[in-house]
Structure 1
Amino acid sequence: MPACWPRLAYSAALYALAPLIWRRVWREQALAHPRRARLGLIPRPSSGTPADGQTERPVTWLHCASVGEVLAARPLIEALAASRPGHRLVVTTMTATGAARVQALADKLNTAGAGAIVSHHFVPLDFPGAARRFVARLAPVQAIFFETELWPNLLAACRRRGVPVAVVNGRLSPRAFARYLKIRPLMAAALAHVDWLAAKSDDDAKRYRALGMAEANTAVVGSLKFDVSVSDEDMRRSERLHTWLGERPIWVAGSTHPGEDEQLLGAHRRLRKTHPEALLILVPRHPQRFDEVATLCETQGETSGMRVARRSRDERPGPETSVYLADTMGELSTLYGAADIAFVGGSLVPIGGHNLLEPAVLGVPVVTGPSLENFSDVAASLREAAALTEVADAAGLAVTLAALIDDPVARARLGEAGRQVVTANRGALSRTLEGLDRMLTAK
């Protein structure tokens, strides 16, 4: 059988599932991006005018799945924009929330005007024709895929047009690796089109090689997440928010999921039995759940006496408010910085956790549940430095929160230990940039 048979079978499956796939992405819409972009129908670079500075700029393409990956890739986006001032940096996402984060960052970088022009497109669905059309119209000089975004037809389209491909911050959790092993021929064919893999850790590199990634094209550079930084303005926003919320114990539960919000509200009810003035800032992961979580908070509040304020409505939490629902986008770092303790969600349910370093870089004590597969390397670094507090369930979380609220010395120690872990592990960004630049030079 021909070597491309796994991709042919994969493409046939995509066509068979097309109605379901299209229905799934239909809601992921942004007004500035028509849905035909999902079929690779983006404007050709030549359709720009000389005034917009896009007609003769080489294109660097970076793909991130959603908002979490965009936030993790922010140091890389900023560094590429600064180091390639003559380029157009196109960042693609699958989700509308990711698109919003890219656009906000692009507006900031383009206003500064010192680097590449940054813009956003939705990534096309991975149908062969859509992938070929997208790559042909975008015509990138380099394609960079973030973490585990391995789309076989897009990778093949890049190889067909001679576009060098890198996978950066490459990670494969044990769970993802087990899934990919079931379709190893397809993954091996896809990875054959990857010119350079910048893996987060030795374990990630080994898993990629087990799927077919060439060892000669693999480097372990560390996690880009450690290269996160916080500006003075970010810190000032957090300080202003903390003052606005008042002098009371504050804990944030960030990036929460269905089945987890209920547990967190239960932990907060237990906490308030001993610390009735405590305030929970609840930050759901996905905006489409904001109203659902608000209803949950209000329903539970009717029986427990917990009152809720919504940030999207500019409702100020008063002394009688026990839950502040942060139903806005792009403010998680500010909210973490305003808290005494941070619980990172996606960890009391089997999601695999979220970025533990977002509160750690701010010097805020980090608490997490047991599900940490997606951030096992980061968790190991924090754990080794005694900078991570892990709980098994909501009851354990309530006990831990109460203990930390009563022990400011322990909170300060945990926060400083986390900050030092971030500082000590920086460097992946510079190693990644060096590898990407070598690829361009060798082209």
Structure 2
Amino acid sequence: MSVKSNHAFVPPLSLLERMALAVYGLLMRLLQPWVRRRHRRRGRAEPGYLQHMEQRFGHYPGLEPSSGWVWVHAVSLGETRAAALLLAALREQVPGLRLLLSHGTATGRAEGAKLLRPGDLQVWQPWDTPAAVQRFLQQFRPALGVLLETEVWPHWVQGCRAHGVPLYLVNARLNPKSLRAAQRLRCLMRPAYAGLSAVLAQTEADAARLRQLGAEPVQVLGNLKFDLEADPAQIERGRRWRAALGGRRVVMLASSREGEEALWLQALRQAQDSPFGPEAPLWLLVPRHPQRFDAVAALLQQAGLSVFRRSQWPEGLDAVAPAAARSAQVWLGDSLGEMHAYYAMADLAWLGGSFLPLGGQNLIEAAACGCPVLMGPHTYNFHDAAEQALHCGAARRLPDMPAALPATRHWLDDAAALQRAREGCAALLQQGQGAAQRSAALLRAAMAPATPGA
């Protein structure tokens, strides 16, 4: 199992490609004031965006130039959780690894802080201009770069090639929609994908699409997220919450995206049976993005629903439910880092991002917690995992949210069917595991000459 770097075989950029890269670089420079304003606006809801703003443009006050880092870029929360699985395997194989971890979102950065060890460093990703990338590479001089999933930026790739930094795209995926978009910008994106040292793809279909953009060599190693293990402490916390609520049935709308809560309310209003009657389950809504917590709470309250927010449950008293929690029609999961507890609390989950054309969220995380999933028609970001979940019986696909209501009642009313779905969750996880160790072995071989302890 070996992948060789393709740096020696990448043809030089054509005149058209050089022109496209120059125009792109100029546009990215012109966008910098907008980027600063955007992050300041987001920082009002998520203060993490305001920290170390200058790092986003390749300035690192207080940090001395250094070298020998293994640079891992995980743009947001999902990629950071995948990076955690890779890093656990990589640290086993490479003692003494010096990690430089970069992110693009505050949620990713907060999650990534948990992965740091003494001597590691965490920074914001550099904005993709030649100058910012040049400053980043001169500051840190990585021995190896690892990009998670989809994060291919043209100047990053060209900068790493110029500095002799092997750059790998790991747990790589590319859906048909993204392929079509990249092909429309082929003069810009072909050099970016062709300039990668190697690509470790999730599936054969992903590999085929990545090759169409010029990526070589490409090897299929599977999806890192299948190596996820549920957090035992969180699983126990979710079970305590459920017991404190008197064992109520719980249905979760997991990682919902903007617009899906309104669809959910509309579906429930149109339902023939009361979704909030005495025998109705407790509904648990967990929005995907924390900056939307207050807006979703307001939407639910405007609909006349009694809402309890997770943040209102006193810490350390998991076994004693506040009165408002016991009487609420809807729970709002307004916390970070507790998805496993929410999944453990729920009988089943509706998969956010799949009921609007947004590509779906990570259903593997639900399976790891033994929580079956009802998903909408839009799961192109997790196409193979979704199909495997259907095959194992861990998930069902519905055309829309109104159709998810009778499917929910079926699982809640048929204990044997729900148990079979939970067994399907275990089967789904078992058949996909091993990508983290395989990916780590290839990266270890790539960094062996330069990394202490390898």
Same fold (TM over 0.5): yes
| Poorly superposed stretches of 4+, deviation over 4 Å | none
1:40 maps to 58
Question: Cα deviation per residue 1:177-225 (whole Å; 9 max; x = unaligned)?
Answer: 11111111211111232111000111111111111112xx210111111
Question: Cα deviation per residue 1:69-119 (whole Å; 9 max; x = unaligned)?
Answer: 11233211322344333122122111111111111343xxx3xxxxx7443
The one of 100, 104, 110 equivalent to 1:100 is 110
The 1:247–1:377 alpha-carbon spacing in structure 2 relative to 1, beyond 3 Å, is same
The one of 285, 295, 298 equivalent to 2:298 is 295
CA distance in 2 between counterparts of 1:83 and 1:241 reads 38
CA distance in 1 between counterparts of 2:245 and 2:109 reads 30
The 1:213–1:414 alpha-carbon spacing in structure 2 relative to 1, beyond 3 Å, is same
Which amino acid is the alignment partner of residue 57 of structure 2?
L
1:196 maps to 198
| Deviation of the 1:386 alpha carbon | 2.5
| Consecutive unaligned residues in structure 2, runs of 5 or more | 1-14, 315-321
2:306 maps to 307
The one of 255, 271, 275 equivalent to 1:272 is 275
| Deviation of the 1:229 alpha carbon | 1.0
- Root-mean-square deviation (Å): 2.1
Aligned residues of 1:44 and 1:138 also touching (Cα < 8 A): no
1:224 maps to 224
Which amino acid is the alignment partner of residue 137 of structure 2?
V
Instruction: Note the 1:381-420 alignment, pairs <5 A.
Output: 381-420=388-427
Instruction: Note the 1:117-196 alignment, pairs <5 A.
Output: 117-196=119-198
Q: Which moved more, 1:269-278 or 1:89-98?
A: 269-278
CA distance in 1 between counterparts of 2:168 and 2:124 reads 19
**Are residue 356 (structure 1) and residue 363 (structure 2) matched?**
yes
CA distance in 2 between counterparts of 1:307 and 1:231 reads 30
Aligned sequence identity (%): 33
Q: Flag the structure with more relative contact order, 1 or 2, with Cα contacts below 8 A and sequence separation at least 6.
A: 2
Relative to the length of structure 2, the TM-score reads 0.87
Aligned residues of 2:253 and 2:349 also touching (Cα < 8 A): yes
Q: Which moved more, 1:23-32 or 1:258-267?
A: 23-32
The one of 15, 27, 41 equivalent to 2:29 is 15
Instruction: Note the 1:231-242 alignment, pairs <5 A.
Output: 231-242=231-242
Number of residues of Structure 1 aligned to a counterpart in Structure 2:
421
Residue 275 of structure 2 aligns to a residue whose secondary structure is: helix
Q: Which moved more, 1:205-214 or 1:78-87?
A: 78-87
**Are residue 30 (structure 1) and residue 38 (structure 2) matched?**
no
Question: Cα deviation per residue 1:287-330 (whole Å; 9 max; x = unaligned)?
Answer: 111111010010012xxxx3101112327444431101111111
Aligned residues of 1:7 and 1:189 also touching (Cα < 8 A): no
CA distance in 1 between counterparts of 2:93 and 2:119 reads 12
| Consecutive unaligned residues in structure 1, runs of 5 or more | 48-54, 111-115
1:50 maps to none
Question: Cα deviation per residue 1:252-285 (whole Å; 9 max; x = unaligned)?
Answer: 1111111101122344554526664411111111
Aligned residues of 1:45 and 1:138 also touching (Cα < 8 A): no
Residue 61 of structure 1 aligns to a residue whose secondary structure is: strand
CA distance in 2 between counterparts of 1:31 and 1:401 reads 38
Which amino acid is the alignment partner of residue 251 of structure 1?
V
| Deviation of the 1:58 alpha carbon | 3.1
Which amino acid is the alignment partner of residue 430 of structure 2?
T
Aligned residues of 1:43 and 1:137 also touching (Cα < 8 A): no
Residue 355 of structure 2 aligns to a residue whose secondary structure is: coil
1:52 maps to none
Residue 143 of structure 2 aligns to a residue whose secondary structure is: strand
1:435 maps to 442
Residue 145 of structure 2 aligns to a residue whose secondary structure is: strand
